[in-house]
Amino acid sequence: MRLAAFDEMLPEVSGLRRPYSAYDRWLKEQDPARLTEKMQDAERVFRKTGITFAVYGEQEASERLIPFDIVPRIISGNEWRRLTQGIEQRVQALNAFLDDIYHRQEILRAGRVPRDLIARNEAFLPEMIGVRPPAGVYTHIIGVDIVRISEDEFYVLEDNARTPSGVSYMLENRETMMQLFPELFQKIKVRPVENYPQLLRQSLAAVRPQNTNGAPTIAVLTPGSFNSAYFEHAFLADQMGVQLVEGQDLRVVDGHVAMRTTEGYKQIDVLYRRVDDSFLDPLTFRPDSALGIPGIMDVYRAGNITIANAPGTGIADDKAIYSYMPEIVEFYTGRKAILGNIPTWRCSEPDSLKYVLEHIHELVIKEVHGSGGYGMLVGPAATKKECQDFAKKLQAKPSNYIAQPTLALSTCPILTEKGLAPRHVDLRPYVLVSDRIQIVPGGLTRVALKEGSLVVNSSQGGGTKDTWVLDD
């Protein structure tokens, strides 16, 4: 089954879109052989830089080079302004929702979100009830996945409020493009993204604990070099000029978290953690965790360290909660959501489950806590047996799944051996929250490199593109 999709560069109906006009003029002047060479150059740059990701469950070639396409995805300034308004509104609502869920729970009392959906949700942390993070910020770094359906229709596919990844690819994509095609950036005014690490550091510093004396000490907590996103952890620590630490480097000293240095232990004020909640503190969560810091939650509850993102934020990007986001946005902002949701069936509801089972070959079905494209079924691309097997999973644990229609995601051209060819894309803008909300102009465009595929995740064979927001 192939869906008719809106092409962001060259729609069939209207012809070349204005944001691509300058790029198209340049492209027509290029020798195809030169572009092929540039693709090879880009691969060498990525290989030399070590931009890889790990694929779990595969012993062979567990480290892969993320595919990169040299044709940029271009967004006009007007389109970006509309998107940022919707993203800001959504991020404000997410933070308000988290604060409410762990305090007064007014949205539950109002019946706008079912109480059971929170109480039985494994992402909800009872240990966070009554705890208010420094500066009142729960989601310091958010990745909002957005898909486009037509010229004017954008939808949020999901919210990444725990530890959103991929920003290092956004930065390396831009640097690589500027190395390969410096003349393009002289011809076309593209808004910069390279100041993201500085903005991230400033944003983290702005949410330091109230009792911090002087400039705060910031560190990035990684699970270690075997983690799939380790490259990004090391990259961001280096770009921010802060320490990259593992749990074994940290301990609680005099009511604060401190890191081991050559001069003894030094207090940390802000910890940008890339470790999951359950591994963060073996005294509070999983006792077998060797990745966290024993006692860090006591320090956190005392207000002596900022953990970004806050523990318990996973409830905000749970896919069952996602289906209530229009109600959540309206409840906390008093306005309808600017960016809409994709229609979603909650399989925990008997009528929805019945519909999903009857139409399983037409739908995309996802685990409520899933990520990376794992544990999902794309009905139109699945075999009859795959649908039957997945139906058994649904019936065994319906509350673990949601379903959505198969959308005709917009396409952007990629460079193939035969020239330009359309491929489906999504977009992950990165949002920084402190005393204000900052959104880097662009984000990470993920592209499904297989013809007709709707799965853009790198772990499932997808690649990335540089995303240009025009300065118009």
β 256-261/264-267 pair status: antiparallel
Read off the pLDDT of residues 331-341 as tens digits, 9 standing for 90 and up. 999 999 999 99
Read off the tokens for 102.
């762990």
Check if the beta carbon of residue 193 is closer than 8 Å to that of residue 440: yes
Cα 21 from Cα 17, distance rounded (Å): 7
Cα 372 from Cα 378, distance rounded (Å): 14
pTM over 0.85: yes
Q: Where are the beta strands (DSSP E) in 349-410?
A: 363-367, 377-378, 401-405
Concatenated DSSP letters of 438-453: EE-SS-EEEE--STT-
Q: How confident is the model at residue 472 (pLDDT cuts 50, 70, 90)?
A: confident
Cα 105 from Cα 158, distance rounded (Å): 23
Cα 191 from Cα 81, distance rounded (Å): 13
Read off the pLDDT of residues 38-60 as tens digits, 9 standing for 90 and up. 999 998 888 887 765 555 454 44
Three-state SS letters, 396-438: HCHHHEEEEECCCCCEEEEEECCEEEEEEEEEECEEEECCCEE
Q: How confident is the model at residue 324 (pLDDT cuts 50, 70, 90)?
A: very high
Residue 448 reports pLDDT greater than 50: yes
Say what the pLDDT of residue 260 is. Answer: 94
Read off the pLDDT of residues 175-201 as tens digits, 9 standing for 90 and up. 999 999 999 999 999 999 999 999 999
Say what the pLDDT of residue 317 is. Answer: 87
Cα 452 from Cα 459, distance rounded (Å): 17
Check if the beta carbon of residue 179 is closer than 8 Å to that of residue 43: no
Read off the pLDDT of residues 391-427 as tens digits, 9 standing for 90 and up. 999 999 998 899 999 888 999 999 998 889 999 999 9
Cα 178 from Cα 281, distance rounded (Å): 42
Cα 129 from Cα 269, distance rounded (Å): 22
Least confident of 6-10, 252-256, 258-262, 376-380: 376-380
Check if the beta carbon of residue 291 is closer than 8 Å to that of residue 247: yes
Residue 448 forms beta bridges with which residues?
A: none
b/e map 275-304, b = 16+ CB within 10 Å: bbbbbbbbebbeeebebbbbbbbebbeeeb
Say what the pLDDT of residue 55 is. Answer: 52
Consecutive H or E run containing 358: helix 350-358
Cα 469 from Cα 1, distance rounded (Å): 32
Say what the pLDDT of residue 51 is. Answer: 67
Read off the pLDDT of residues 25-42 as tens digits, 9 standing for 90 and up. 999 999 999 999 999 999
- The winner for highest mean pLDDT among 52-61, 88-97, 379-388 is 88-97
Say what the pLDDT of residue 459 is. Answer: 66
Q: What is the mean pLDDT of the chain?
A: 92
Residue bearing tokens 């544990």: 375
Cα 76 from Cα 19, distance rounded (Å): 6
Residue 468 forms beta bridges with which residues?
A: 74
Domains and CATH numbers, the chain: 210-304 (3.40.50.11290), 343-406 (3.30.1490.270)
Using CB atoms within 10 A of its CB, is residue 152 exposed (0-12), middle (13-18) or buried (19+)? Answer: exposed
Say what the pLDDT of residue 410 is. Answer: 95
Read off the pLDDT of residues 141-182 as tens digits, 9 standing for 90 and up. 999 999 999 999 999 999 999 989 999 999 999 999 999 999
Say what the pLDDT of residue 413 is. Answer: 95
Say what the pLDDT of residue 455 is. Answer: 77
- What percentage of the chain has pLDDT greater than the value 90? 78
Cα 146 from Cα 407, distance rounded (Å): 12
Residue 112 reports pLDDT greater than 70: yes
Read off the pLDDT of residues 254-296 as tens digits, 9 standing for 90 and up. 999 999 998 899 999 999 999 999 999 999 999 999 999 999 9
